[in-house]
C-alpha cells in the first residue's frame, strides 16, 4: 500500500519481477481514473517497451478497474491502425502502448495528450536499451508540464536515473523489494557444459523436469528458430517467440504457452519484459547474457507471486569469468550443479512409470474394458512379454531421448564453488596476448550517448558473439568509441556485427580504416 506521503508526488517504483509492479501502477493512477465522467480523455498514459508488456498491463489494469467501469485500451505495433483509432475514439481512461505506436497516433491526431494527468514509464531501462529515447522525449513534449511522471522498473541503471532526473520533479523512491535484491524464490544454478553440447544440455534439463513449464532464452532470432525446430524434432511440445514474428504469431505462441498446450517456449529477450505466466517453473539460459539487467529480467519470469522456480545457466569453462561478473553485478548468488546425465534421467523415467502403473489410487477410474483385457493377458500367456510391449509404447519411453553429455567438474578452490556473491577476481591476461594481433573497430556510440568501457565491452561481445578475453583496448570518445578485437576472430566478428541489431538499431560497428579518429 502506498503511503500518504506519495500523494501528488512523482514516483520511482522499484521491485523485483513478479512482485506486483503493475498493481502498483494501478494504485498510483487510481485517483485520476476515479475523477469522474467529465474528466478529459485519456487521463493517464502508460508506456511500455514491448507489445507483450503493453498487453499484459492492459489486461491487469482492466481487471483492477473492472468494478469502477474504467476503460483501458492498448496500442502497439503489429496491430490495425483502424481498430486502434476506434478504441482511442471511445474515450478511454487509460491508454497503454509502445513508444513508436503511441507517437504515431499522437502525430496523426488520434491521441490527444494535452490534458494528461500522469505518464508512467514501465521498464524505462529497456526502452532506452531499445533506442526509444527520442520517441519518449517526443511523447513527453506533447504532455502538460503539470503532469505526474512515474518510472517503474526492477532495476535502475545510471542512464535511467539520468532520464528520471530530467522528466521528474521532486521524485519519491518507492521500493517494493530492496533495490538490487535477488528474488529469494528463485534457485540460481550454473551448469558447466561443452560448447558443442549446449543443445544436448537443454534436452536433459527439460527431461529432468518433465512437468515444468519452461522458458528457454537464446541470444538471437536465428538461435530461437533453430533451437525450437530442433526441440520439436526431438519430440517436445515447443513454440518460438522472437521479434521477427508478426503479432498474430506471437499471440498464438503466448496463448499456447499460457494454456499449457506447449510446455516449452524458446525466446529472445523480447519475452523477458512482459511475459506474465505465473506457472513458469524453469528458465534456461542457453548462453549467459552480457548485461546483468537482462539476467534479472530473464530469471524473473519464474519465482513469481510466491512460487518457487529455477534459473539454469549454461556456461562453458571459457565463459566462466564473464558469467561470474554478470551474476555479481546482478547481486545473484548461484551454485554449481552437474548436468543431468542420460543414465539418471532414464532411471527417473523408469521410477515415474512404475509409480504411475502401480499407484493404489482409488480416485483413478479404470475402463472396465481395460480391466478385462488385463485379465485375458494374465490368463493367456507370457505376462512379462505383454507388459514389456505395453511399456515400450508408453509416452515416457517413446518421448524425447536423453543425451549423453560429458561431465565438467566445477572449480572448487576457495569461494569458486559458488558464483556471484563475492567480487570476481580479474583473470590475468596470458603473456601471449601481449604479442597478439589486434584489429581495430569503430563504434558509433560515445560517452554523450551513455557509453562507458564496461557497456561497450558487453555490447561488442553480445553483437560479435566473442568472449571478453578476445577484446583488447577500448577507448570511449564523446560521440564514438574504438575497440580492439583479437585478429584470429576479427573476420568472424566483422561478419556478425554487420547484421542489424534490434537492441542497438542506431549503433554501427565497422572496421577502422586507420584514418578515422574518435569523434570529438
pLDDT of residue 432: 39
202 pLDDT band (50/70/90 cuts)? Answer: very high
The tens digit of pLDDT for each residue in 78-114 reads 778 888 999 999 889 999 999 999 999 999 999 999 8
* Separation between Cα atoms, residue 81 and residue 101, nearest integer Å: 9
Q: Where are the beta strands (DSSP E) in 60-219?
A: 72-75, 94-97, 118-122, 148-153, 172-175, 186-192, 213-217
pTM: 0.62
The pLDDT of residue 430 is 40
The verdict on domain 186-341+409-419 having CATH code 3.10.450.50 is no
Distance CA 238, CA 256 (A): 9
| Candidate ranges 168-182, 190-204, 471-485; pick with highest mean pLDDT | 190-204
CA pair distance 224, 216, nearest whole angstrom: 9
Judged against a pLDDT cut of 90, whether residue 67 lies above it is answered with no
Does domain 4-175 sit in CATH 3.20.20.20? no
Q: Show the cell assigned to 466.
A: 566473442
pLDDT at 289 > cutoff 80: yes
What value does the mean pLDDT take over residues 119-123? 88
Residue 225 binned pLDDT confidence (cut-offs 50, 70, 90):
confident
Q: What is the pLDDT of residues 448-479, one digit of tens each?
A: 777 888 788 888 888 888 877 788 888 888 88
Q: How far apart, in whole angstroms, are the C-alpha atoms of residue 158 and residue 161? A: 5
For 420, the 3-state DSSP assignment is coil
Handedness of CA 83, 85, 88, 94 (dihedral sign): positive
Q: Return the CATH architecture of domain 431-511.
A: 2-Layer Sandwich (3.30)
Map residue 519 onto helix, strand or coil. coil
- What's the pLDDT at 14? 77
Q: Name the residue ranges covered by the structural domains of the chain.
A: 4-175, 186-341+409-419, 343-357+371-398, 431-511
Give percent of the chain with pLDDT exceeding 90.
Answer: 25
Q: pLDDT tens-digit profile of 125-171?
A: 777 766 788 888 899 999 998 999 998 876 666 666 777 778 888 78
Residue 269 has pLDDT above 70, yes or no: yes
Q: What is the pLDDT of residue 272?
A: 58
pLDDT value of position 426? 38
Q: Give the closest residue to 476 by CA, choosing from 452, 457, 502, 454.
A: 452
Q: Which residue has the higher pLDDT, 515 or 478?
A: 478
Closest by Cα among 404, 215, 432, 430 to 321: 430
- Are 65 and 22 contacting, i.e. CB atoms less than 8 angstroms apart? no
pLDDT of residue 461: 85
Taking only the tens place, the pLDDT of each residue in 397-438 is: 667 888 988 888 887 654 445 566 544 443 334 433 445 688
Predicted pLDDT of residue 157: 64
pLDDT confidence of residue 519: 42
Q: Any idea what DSSP says for residue 50?
A: S
- Stretch 185-198: mean pLDDT, rounded? 91
The residue assigned the cell 536515473 is 161
Topology alike, domains 186-341+409-419 and 431-511? no
CA torsion sign for 31, 36, 38, 43 is positive
Amino acid at each position: 500500500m502506498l503511503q500518504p506521503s506519495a500523494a501528488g508526488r512523482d514516483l520511482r517504483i522499484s521491485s523485483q519481477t513478479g512482485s506486483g509492479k503493475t498493481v502498483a501502477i494501478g494504485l498510483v493512477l487510481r485517483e485520476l481514473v476515479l475523477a469522474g465522467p467529465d474528466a478529459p480523455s485519456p487521463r493517464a498514459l502508460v508506456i511500455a517497451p514491448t507489445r507483450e508488456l503493453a498487453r499484459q498491463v492492459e489486461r491487469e489494469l482492466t481487471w483492477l478497474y473492472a468494478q469502477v467501469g474504467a476503460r483501458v485500451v492498448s496500442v502497439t505495433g503489429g496491430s490495425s491502425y483502424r481498430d486502434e483509432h476506434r478504441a482511442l475514439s471511445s474515450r478511454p481512461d487509460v491508454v497503454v502502448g509502445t513508444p513508436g505506436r503511441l507517437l504515431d497516433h499522437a502525430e496523426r491526431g488520434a491521441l490527444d495528450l494535452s490534458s494528461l494527468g500522469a505518464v508512467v514509464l514501465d521498464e524505462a531501462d529497456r526502452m532506452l536499451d531499445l533506442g526509444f529515447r527520442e520517441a519518449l522525449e517526443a511523447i513527453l513534449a506533447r504532455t502538460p508540464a503539470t503532469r505526474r511522471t512515474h518510472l517503474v522498473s526492477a532495476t535502475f541503471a545510471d542512464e535511467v536515473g539520468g532520464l528520471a532526473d530530467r522528466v521528474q520533479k521532486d521524485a519519491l523512491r518507492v521500493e517494493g523489494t530492496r533495490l538490487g535484491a535477488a528474488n529469494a524464490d528463485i534457485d540460481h544454478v550454473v551448469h558447466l557444459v561443452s560448447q558443442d553440447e549446449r543443445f544436448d544440455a537443454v534436452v536433459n534439463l527439460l527431461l529432468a523436469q518433465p512437468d515444468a513449464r519452461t522458458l528457454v532464452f537464446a541470444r538471437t532470432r536465428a538461435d530461437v528458430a533453430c533451437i525450437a525446430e530442433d526441440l520439436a524434432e526431438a519430440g517436445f511440445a515447443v513454440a518460438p517467440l522472437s521479434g521477427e514474428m508478426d503479432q498474430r504469431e506471437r499471440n498464438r505462441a503466448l496463448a499456447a504457452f499460457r494454456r499449457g498446450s506447449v510446455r516449452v517456449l524458446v525466446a529472445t529477450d523480447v519475452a523477458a519484459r512482459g511475459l506474465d505466466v505465473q506457472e513458469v517453473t524453469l528458465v534456461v539460459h542457453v548462453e549467459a547474457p552480457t548485461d546483468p539487467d537482462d539476467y534479472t529480467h530473464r530469471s524473473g519470469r519464474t519465482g513469481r507471486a510466491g512460487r518457487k522456480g529455477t534459473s539454469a545457466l549454461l556456461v562453458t569453462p571459457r565463459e566462466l569469468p564473464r558469467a561470474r561478473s554478470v551474476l555479481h553485478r546482478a547481486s545473484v548468488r548461484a551454485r554449481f550443479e552437474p548436468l543431468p546425465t542420460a543414465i539418471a534421467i532414464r532411471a527417473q523415467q523408469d521410477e515415474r512409470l512404475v509409480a504411475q502403473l502401480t499407484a493404489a489410487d482409488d480416485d483413478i477410474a479404470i475402463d472396465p474394458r481395460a480391466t478385462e483385457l488385463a485379465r485375458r493377458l494374465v490368463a493367456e500367456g507370457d505376462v512379462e512379454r505383454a507388459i514389456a510391449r505395453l511399456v515400450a509404447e508408453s509416452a515416457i519411453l517413446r518421448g524425447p531421448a536423453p543425451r549423453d553429455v560429458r561431465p565438467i567438474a566445477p572449480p572448487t578452490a576457495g569461494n569458486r564453488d559458488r558464483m556471484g556473491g563475492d567480487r570476481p577476481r580479474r583473470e590475468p591476461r596470458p603473456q601471449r596476448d601481449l604479442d597478439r594481433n589486434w584489429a581495430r573497430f569503430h563504434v558509433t556510440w560515445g560517452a554523450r550517448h551513455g557509453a562507458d568501457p564496461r557497456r561497450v565491452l558487453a555490447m561488442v561481445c553480445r553483437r560479435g558473439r566473442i568472449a571478453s578475453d578476445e577484446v583488447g583496448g577500448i577507448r570511449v570518445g564523446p560521440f564514438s568509441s574504438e575497440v580492439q578485437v583479437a585478429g584470429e576472430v576479427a573476420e568472424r566478428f566483422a561478419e556478425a556485427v554487420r547484421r542489424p541489431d534490434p537492441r542497438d538499431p542506431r549503433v554501427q560497428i565497422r572496421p577502422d580504416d586507420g584514418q578515422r579518429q574518435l569523434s570529438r
